């Protein structure tokens, strides 16, 4: 069944000091689609995510949920787009507990002059239980490990009940076991919640199984948009990253290594 597109970009460009970070990008993403955004460093992947998130000024047309949008967003639109950054550092002394950090995700939804109530707190605890970090709820966020903080960040975005989830290399800087755990959580959340997901990654050996579409970005342009099986081949990836790469299969999964 084909769903209506929730993200539509048409001729979207971002220029900084005469340099095109994005150059006439066109992209449509439907509800319930999980799309991998893949490309070398400086290709424009994060800029693309920032345009959709409303953090970046752009030329061209962007429609979210069928409505034309600029970089300035209404609160209602922002609440429908969740964002998970790369793992971030925080001062260990910073005065915020893990559960409070999760609850910041509902602040937009609760609106001004109102604090999150018991239902929001229950939902935060539920999400933290699902991510196996409920026992850390009353710990200062800065005392958590990088992986635990990334789970808090994921819970913070999900409590927002987004219809679009933007993930900017959410497993970078995490060890392999935690990467696997975060990846499984993302796949679980995708199955449970009805969301379109844009997922930036460099690591082809750790792709969620639910990612069935890949978009290759290079020099600010989309150079490939299609099924993950067609994307994950030695010649395709080697061409994108400009180095010899080959793929092989083991236990039904495809892996990438230097050719």
Partner 1 sequence: MVEHFFEGLTYLPVQRALAACILCGLSCSLLSVFIVLMRLPLIGVSMSHAALAGAVIGTLVGFNPVACGFVLCLAVAGILGPVSDRSRMAPENMLGIFFSFLMGVAFLGMGILTRTKAGALSLMWGNLLSLSRRDLVLLSVITAVLLVFILLFFKEIRAVLFHRKLAASSGVPERAVYYTLLLLTGAVVSSNLSTVGGLLIFALLIQPGATALQLAYDLKIFFLVSAAAGIAACVAGLLISYVFDLPSGASVVLVATGIFALAYALSPKRLRRRPHSEEPAL
The nearer residue to partner 1, 103 or 236, going by C-beta atoms, is 103
> Nearer Cβ to partner 1, position 41 or 115?
115
**At its nearest, how many Å lie between partner 1 and the CB of residue 243?**
31
DSSP H helical segments within the chain, as ranges? 45-53, 75-79, 98-103, 107-110, 118-130, 146-158, 176-192, 228-231, 234-241
Q: Which C-beta is closer to partner 1: that of 98 or that of 174?
A: 98
Given the complex with partner 1, which of 48 and 228 has the nearer CB atom? Answer: 48
- Return d(Cα 124, Cα 128) in angstroms, integer: 6
Shortest Å distance, C-beta 2 to partner 1: 28
How far apart are CB 66 and partner 1 at their closest, in Å? 19
Q: Give the C-alpha distances (Å, rounded to integers) separating 110 from 86, 115, 161, 194, 246.
A: 26, 7, 12, 21, 49
Closer CB to partner 1, 71 or 224, in the complex: 71
Residue 58 has φ and ψ, to the nearest 5°, of -150, 160
Which residues contact partner 1 (rule: CB under 8 A)?
53-55, 75-76, 78-79, 81-83, 85, 88, 92-97, 100-101, 104-110, 112-113, 115-116, 140, 153, 156-157, 160
Instruction: Report the residue number, 66 or 95, with the smaller CB distance to partner 1.
Output: 95
Rounded alpha-carbon distances, angstroms, from residue 13 to 19, 38, 44, 51, 77? 10, 18, 10, 9, 21
User: Toward partner 1, which CB reaches closer, 94 or 248?
Assistant: 94
Q: What φ, ψ does residue 63 adopt, rounded to 5°?
A: -120, 130
Closest approach, Cβ 167 to partner 1, in A, equals 12
Q: Least distance in Å: CB of 59 to partner 1?
A: 17
- Minimum CB–partner distance for residue 98 and partner 1 (Å): 11
CB of 161 to partner 1, least distance (A): 11
Q: What share of the chain is helix, strand, coil (3-state, %, to 5)?
A: 35, 30, 35
Concatenating the DSSP letter of every residue in 101-130 gives HHHGGGHHHH-TT----HHHHHHHHHHHHH
CA–CA distances in Å: residue 10 to residues 22, 27, 63, 92, 197? 12, 7, 9, 43, 19
């Amino acid at each position: 069944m084909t769903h209506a597109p929730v993200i539509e970009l048409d001729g979207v460009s971002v220029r900084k000091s005469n340099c095109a970070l994005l150059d006439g990008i066109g992209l449509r993403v439907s509800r319930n689609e999980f799309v991998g955004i893949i490309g070398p460093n400086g290709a424009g992947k994060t800029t693309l995510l920032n345009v959709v998130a409303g953090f970046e000024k752009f030329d061209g047309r962007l429609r979210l949920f069928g409505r034309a949008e600029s970089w300035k967003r209404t609160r209602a639109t922002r609440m429908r787009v969740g964002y998970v950054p790369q793992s971030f550092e925080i001062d260990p002394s910073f005065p915020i507990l893990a559960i409070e950090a999760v609850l910041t995700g509902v602040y937009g939804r609760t609106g001004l002059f109102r604090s999150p109530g018991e239902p929001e707190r229950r939902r935060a605890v539920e999400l933290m239980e699902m991510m196996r970090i409920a026992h850390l709820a009353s710990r200062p966020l800065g005392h958590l490990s990088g992986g635990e903080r990334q789970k808090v960040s994921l819970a913070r975005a999900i409590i927002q009940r987004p219809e679009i989830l933007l993930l900017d290399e959410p497993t970078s800087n995490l060890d392999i076991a935690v990467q696997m755990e975060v990846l499984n959580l993302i796949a679980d959340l995708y199955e449970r919640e009805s969301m379109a997901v844009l997922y930036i990654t460099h690591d082809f050996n750790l792709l969620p199984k639910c990612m069935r579409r890949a978009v290759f970005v290079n020099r600010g342009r989309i150079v490939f948009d299609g099924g993950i099986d067609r994307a994950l081949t030695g010649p395709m990836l080697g061409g994108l990253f400009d180095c010899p790469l080959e793929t092989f299969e083991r236990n039904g999964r495809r892996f990438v290594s230097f050719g």
